Structure 1
Amino acid sequence: MRIFDESRLIEHPLFQNLSKEQFALVWNFLEPQMRAHPRSTLIFRQGDEASNLGLLVEGQLRIERTIPCGKRILLQEEASPDDLLCASFAAVPGQQLTYSVRAHTDCFVYHIDCRRLLYLGEHGYSRLLLNLLTIINSESRSFARRSTILSGGSVRDRISLYLYKQYLAHQTLNFTISLNREELASFLCVDRSALSKELSLMQRDGLLSYHKNEFHLSECWLEQYDSTWAF
């Protein structure tokens, strides 16, 4: 069994503003179970009943959804140890999951029984519930940002909106994204060949240059966007 320093988790957004003593009480009350998830395995499966909340402590995850034709769509590039998995379902145990969570690398996750979250208020842990609502709100905003990217009608518009998001996140015109070409096409819901063709055209037009997953955006490209707009 892999051993982790549980005291470090007090810095996680779920436990924000809890004292060390409060964290210890909450942690014991939740009785989280550590599980190892090898690369490419499903941690949570779309369609299953939401019974556990996942607290990632090591590794990288991808959030995906399978559409009726069987194609997998990437919903979130990766989840980090700051993310709480399936948070939007935590308050309603038994809700059917509308997406899957897959281990992108070998992962270690604490699983928390959602039903125990229902009794936090009775035990004086209302601060934790407020933190959970904040995380759910943040998760909703993340999916809203992806909806904004997909609202771009053309392939070029979707690429540009995605790269603008990356520019805001990195605060530089030069950055490396976490997705390969196939994964980026899945995230943008476009054909891979169409994506590659449009990137070549954008490079020809002087809007950007790229090599694999490394991008350099031009000042000309940046002028298309209002720098005050919050993504």
Structure 2
Amino acid sequence: MNIIDEMHHFDLFSSLEDHQIEEILSLLSGRIECYEKNEIVFNQGETVHEIGLVLEGELIGISYDLLGHSNIYAHIDTYDYFGESYALIHHDLKLDVMAVTKTRVLFLDGNKIMDVHYPAFIKNLMHLLASKNVALSNKINTIAPKSMRERLMNYLYMQIRIHDSFVFDIPFNRQQLADYLLVDRSSLSHELSLMKQEGLLDFKKNHFIIYKVPDRKPTCL
């Protein structure tokens, strides 16, 4: 698959013709980089000037406190984006972006974004930024409850909505899920076991089946 064909998988290039996409990639100095598992793509504190488009692989946005505890902000999958807000305002990055599998990324120069004169592209970019704001709100709402079970239920029911199914795979292993929810891994595993015993759900590694939905709608929905 050539790079133009790959761009059709990204909403950023929706409604654009091949020659328009080619022109945009040239204008934005598109370049492709490859990363190995656990390799850092962007470092916390780095001033970012480029938007990353994931052509293949997976990444996470992760930060560390002074004691070395990690907090996962986001999972970035194939055909997703990262760094767009920071690239547009030239702000220092507040987290590391790390590959969790072998990953291939297309970078676009954020300094030249507003030089693109195709209204469809700018509209798609605004939609992308708005979608990321919604995702951040979901993250905040997910971890807002003090109870670990409520945080976990918020996250799992958000996945139900994303997958439109009560059977799904989550993008995190157990440690990564604990980091995302800002809880202890062993406590999380214990809570999951209790919920399984209570007949609320079943799971194996990152595969989940939800059996019972609470009467109260989770805060992330």
TM-score by length of 2: 0.91
Shift of 1:28: 1.7
Partner of 2:213: 222
Whether contact under 8 Å (1:88, 1:139) holds in the other structure is no
2:76 paired with 1:79: yes
Of residues 152, 156, 176, the one that matches 1:163 is: 156
> What does 1:98-109 align with in structure 2 at a 5 Å threshold?
98-109=94-105
Per the TM alignment, residue 226 of structure 1 is displaced from its structure 2 partner at its CA by 4.1
Indicate the residue corresponding to 1:25 in structure 2: 23
Per the alignment, residue 68 of structure 1 pairs with: 66
Give the Cα separation in 1 of the matches to 2:84 and 2:108. Answer: 11
167, 188, 203: which one aligns with 1:195: 188
1:6 aligns with 2:23: no
Deviations 1:97-149 (A, max 9, x none): 112211111111112222122422xxx23432222121111111111111111
Work out the percentage of aligned pairs sharing the same amino acid. Answer: 27
**Cα distance in structure 2, aligned partners of 1:206 and 1:126:** 51
Query: Highest Rg: 1 or 2?
Result: 1
Runs of 4+ in 1 over 6 A off after TM superposition: none
- Contact between 2:25 and 2:108, CA under 8 Å: does it hold in 1? no
Code of the aligned partner of 1:196: S
**Contact in 1 for aligned 2:60/2:100 (Cα 8 Å):** yes
CA-CA distance at 1:86 after TM superposition: 0.7
Q: Distance in 2 between matches of 1:152 and 1:36?
A: 38
Q: CA offset at residue 33 of structure 1?
A: 1.2
- Cα distance in 1, alignment partners of residues 147 and 14 from structure 2: 41
1:27 Cα deviation after fit: 1.8
- C-alpha spacing 1:189/1:115, structure 2 compared with 1 (3 Å): same
CA distance in 2: counterparts of 1:131 and 1:177, whole angstroms: 27
In 1: Cα distance, 2:203 partner to 2:25 partner: 46
TM superposition shift of 1:60: 1.0
Tell me the residue number matched to 1:143. Answer: 136
Report how many residues are paired.
220
Between the aligned partners of 1:205 and 1:31, the Cα distance in structure 2 is 55
Instruction: Name the SS for the 2:115 alignment partner.
Output: coil
Question: Are residues 1:45 and 2:43 paired?
Answer: yes
Superposition deviation, residue 211 in structure 1? 2.5
CA distance in 2, matches of 1:11, 1:184: 27
Instruction: Name the SS of the counterpart of 1:74 in structure 2.
Output: strand
Q: Which runs of 5+ in 2 are unaligned?
A: none
Q: In the alignment, does 2:108 pair up with 1:112?
A: yes
Structure 1 SS opposite 2:8: helix
Q: CA deviation at 1:225?
A: 4.1
